[in-house]
Structure formats: structure tokens, C-alpha cells
């Protein structure tokens, strides 16, 4: 088995295609006799004045727009961090 590594990019070169922050949100909803667990993650560049709460509300509302059955879901996990190492 061989592996091919992509050429390393400088952070400045990678930044335009990625957001400034990385997030993960996991929700759990009761569906009849079972549960549904839904996790989403990605990157986003929020407006300058946003708070962590603003970020959370935007991500959650985006998920609920796409999956209305998760409107009453419980949050199992949420994290947002600057998108850098």
C-alpha cells in the first residue's frame, strides 16, 4: 500500500477557502421509540461583533432549517474554536 501526500500549504494560502472558525454540533432527538443523533461540523467566518452564543444560534438554526425534526433536539456537544493549529 502506498500513500501520496499533498504538498503542504502555508496557512495564508489555505485561509481563503476555509472559515476563520471551526465548529462541531451534536444533537439528539427522541423519535418514537428511539433516538436520532445528528452531528455537523465545518468552518465559518463570523461577523466581527458575533459572540459564541451568536455562532451557536446560527449553526443550530441552520441545522433545524434542513432537518425540522431536530427542532426540539437536545444539545449533546457544541464547540467553536479559531481554525488554526
The residue whose grid cell reads 432537518 is 67
Contact 6, 67 (CB under 8 A): no
Predicted TM-score (pTM) of the model is 0.77
Q: Which residues of the chain have pLDDT under 50?
A: 1-10, 13-14
Task: Compute the Cα dihedral for 63, 68, 69, 71 and give only its sign.
Answer: positive
C-alpha cell at 72: 426540539
pLDDT of residue 8: 47
**What is the distance between the terminal CA atoms of the chain, rounded to a whole angstrom?**
29
pLDDT of residue 4: 45
**For residues 27 and 64, what is the distance between their CA atoms, to the nearest angstrom?**
10
Compute the radius of gyration of the chain from its Cα atoms.
Answer: 16
The residue whose grid cell reads 458575533 is 50
Amino acid at each position: 500500500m502506498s500513500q501520496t501526500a499533498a504538498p503542504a500549504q502555508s496557512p495564508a494560502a489555505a485561509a481563503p477557502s476555509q472559515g476563520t472558525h471551526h465548529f462541531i454540533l451534536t444533537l439528539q432527538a427522541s423519535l418514537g421509540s428511539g433516538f436520532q443523533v445528528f452531528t455537523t461540523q465545518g468552518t465559518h467566518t463570523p461577523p466581527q461583533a458575533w459572540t459564541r452564543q451568536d455562532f451557536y444560534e446560527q449553526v443550530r438554526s441552520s441545522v433545524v432549517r434542513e432537518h425540522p425534526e431536530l427542532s426540539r433536539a437536545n444539545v449533546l456537544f457544541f464547540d467553536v474554536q479559531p481554525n488554526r493549529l
